[in-house]
Structure 1
């Protein structure tokens, strides 16, 4: 029941965090360990064959990464122009659009029963590409130079994603069915963990959310929605199966917005960091709703249930 009401818990906890931010803001150091626990649980659902299967189809990874860097920065610029956002806010939105995928997308893919192995591969590749793509795209659309700390990002990716997933996959390979009870418990643990993470993010950004204004929030919602729709739509156009389509939707629509905030604050202004801060909150909430919807579809009578594995058969 708790897992099925995932978006409701996420929204309620976000409201609590907004009005009572202090207790949750004090838990900021918990974000990384919580994400690592979720990633370990993902690993328990994966085998080495899942990763081999993904890397046998590099075109899928390439398409997803290309969509992310083509759609998101351009969509950010167009949304900013249509809504006539202030220049500083437009800068921040474009920076978020030019960022690679983040670890939150891997969590949402897991909860949505998408292709986790593909999601992890796309996040890793987009992070590597970011060293050239992010500054190039910011320069193209804004005419500004922007150094990207890709080495630090890769260290975080290894620490938060790769090591826990590899550890879980190794244990799954060694113990197999003996882990069934533990494995079945991890979706619930993951839901509780990501709801707590969302609450902490809301608490940490409470002042920015309060000063953000409806127009900037609308821009973030539209930007995220365009990415989700483009990823899913193009995947289905290429006749990808539903699980890979879900994965591309999530990977294209969800950005490493924390990086966007850091780059905006360091190289521009606090106002330029506002879209990234709001995106950090919103893409987790929209991802939670999508994960809930897709899981409900899998569990509906008459619909073939998607096996909770990490990759497409």
Structure 2
């Protein structure tokens, strides 16, 4: 049996281009694959070879997916006393080869390669075995609860949207459909094209590009109704646009996904069956119809929901963000500046282009505000749901990176505008109060002068 003179193990971060395979008598071939979970104490990589492994070296990468040391490398041989770990694999030890166990400690989700280089003869001929390491997200209670909670939030918000929908306003808007057409085109023509353009400009990885494209094709969210109220927009138009975009999503999302989005999904090597996609969308469509039916059967229900709808939706948005931060906190170690920029840039551009599109079609100022907000604020929970139900880890974790950025800082421009508007209105109110006080003060002084003159004239008359 030959002895191995040099062995080098290289840890490479996933999604990198493969090295050249045929240089200096070097041959690279895939050995096998090992799957681990984050926080798993003992994850053993099984390596079989007829060569002895004497030395293990790891070149550190910028984002280390797992760790190991010299002591974590063990040899299992039938001729030796088997350790506790090797005894479990006694029946898998080949006769003409040695079995090596490498105990790794997963740190982050992702894919990595272990390249084991062997010097097989005196002519310096080398062979490399490439071992794939797949580290998946942990299966904890909070991870299962997150999927359930996102589904529940989407379901409940859709019911509230159906209850609050004013059917009479819907009939009036149908008679004058121009604002609805403008809002619909902004939502389902402008946003998908904008998203595709940003994906090409920033050259995102296929899995992240696919996630952003799903978000760019998503319908409007209920949060847009609250911002429409804050900016004194057309609340009836906002509710109708959200309803129309939600109902249309069952046609428009598959249409975009299987046409322009197909080029992205092929590169990402992920297929979402049409039937599954439609089922995911029905999670919001069916509850919305249930809400409309409930509003008709129980007219007082709408007034009750109106009192608490804003608080409920705000609570759900905050709890949604907190749950993502707690369950997926390790994602912040993977997220890059490109994802922080590209993700929020899509809704921010939606605000601007939606307002511009409404302005060139000569919409009133209230409708411009409404269409702008409806275009930019999309239902990110639908994108989360589609990814978490159809993508496997670690692909789902990497796909969520830009969406985490979207859900975290999308409304920052709206908050800035709101605070500026509030500051200006307070300043104007203060100036108006001061001017009214000045007028009142002058009015009182004139009254005093008039009273003094009257008193003097009366005194003169009495003297006479």
Secondary structure at 2:188 match in 1: helix
Shift of 1:119: 1.9
Name which structure has the greater RCO, CA cutoff 8 Å, separation 6+: 1
Q: Residue 258 of structure 1 is aligned with which of 363, 384, 390?
A: 384
Aligned to 2:260: 137
Instruction: Tell me which of 401, 408, 411 is aligned to 1:285.
Output: 408
Counterpart of 1:31 in structure 2 is: 150
Task: State the superposition RMSD in angstroms.
Answer: 3.8
Segments of 5+ residues of structure 2 without an aligned counterpart are: 1-139, 229-234, 430-464
CA distance in 2 between counterparts of 1:44 and 1:53 reads 18
Q: Flag the 1:288–1:173 CA change in 2: closer, same or farther, 3 A.
A: farther
What displacement does 1:183 show?
Answer: 2.1
For residues 262 and 255 of structure 2, the distance between their equivalents in structure 1, rounded to whole angstroms, comes to 11
Distance 2:168 2:296 in 1: 10
**Cα offset for 1:295?**
7.3
Higher helix share: 1
TM superposition shift of 1:134: 1.9
Would the alpha carbon gap of residues 279 and 232 (structure 1) be closer, same or farther in structure 2, given more than 3 Å must change?
farther
Alignment size in residue pairs: 268
Distance change >3 Å, CA 132–CA 44, structure 1 → 2 = closer
Question: What is the match of residue 156 of structure 1?
Answer: 280
Q: Partners of 1:186 and 1:34 in 2: how far apart? A: 13
User: What is the correspondence of 1:1-313 to structure 2 with a 5 Å cutoff?
Assistant: 25=143, 27-28=145-146, 29-53=148-172, 57=177, 59-60=181-182, 61-78=184-201, 80-81=202-203, 89-99=204-214, 101-102=217-218, 105-113=220-228, 115-140=238-263, 144=267, 147-159=271-283, 161-176=284-299, 179-240=302-363, 241=367, 242-251=369-378, 256-258=382-384, 261=387, 265=391, 270=394, 274=398, 276-289=399-412
Report the CA distance between 1:69 and its aligned residue: 1.9
TM-score for the superposition, normalised by structure 2 = 0.48
Separation of aligned partners in 1, 2:331 and 2:388: 14
The C-alpha deviation readout for 1:198-244, integer Å capped at 9, x for no partner, is: 22233343222222233432332334433343333323333331212
**Residues 290/158 of structure 1: CA separation in 2 closer, same or farther (3 Å cut):** farther
- Distance (Å, rounded) in 2 between the aligned partners of 1:178 and 1:124: 23
In the superposition, relative to structure 1, how do residues 270 and 121 fare at CA in structure 2: closer, same or farther (>3 Å)? same
TM-score (normalizing by structure 1): 0.68
CA distance in 2, matches of 1:76, 1:272: 18
> For the structure 1 residues 165 and 287, does the alpha-carbon distance in structure 2 shift closer, same or farther, using more than 3 Å as the test?
farther
Equivalent-residue separation in structure 2 for 1:38 and 1:264 (angstroms): 22
Q: Kindly indicate which of the two structures has a greater share of residues assigned to strand.
A: 2
Consecutive unaligned residues of structure 1, counting only runs of 5 or more, are: 1-21, 82-88, 304-313
C-alpha contact 2:192 2:217 (8 A) present in aligned 1: no
Q: Deviations over 1:27-78 (max 9, x none)?
A: 3122222232222222332122344455563633234211122111112211
Relative to structure 2, which stretch is displaced further, 220-229 or 66-75? Answer: 220-229
Cα separation, 2, equivalents of 1:150 and 1:54: 32
| Structure whose CA Rg is larger | 2
Taking a change above 3 Å as real, the CA distance of residues 244 and 185 of structure 1, as seen in their structure-2 partners, is: same
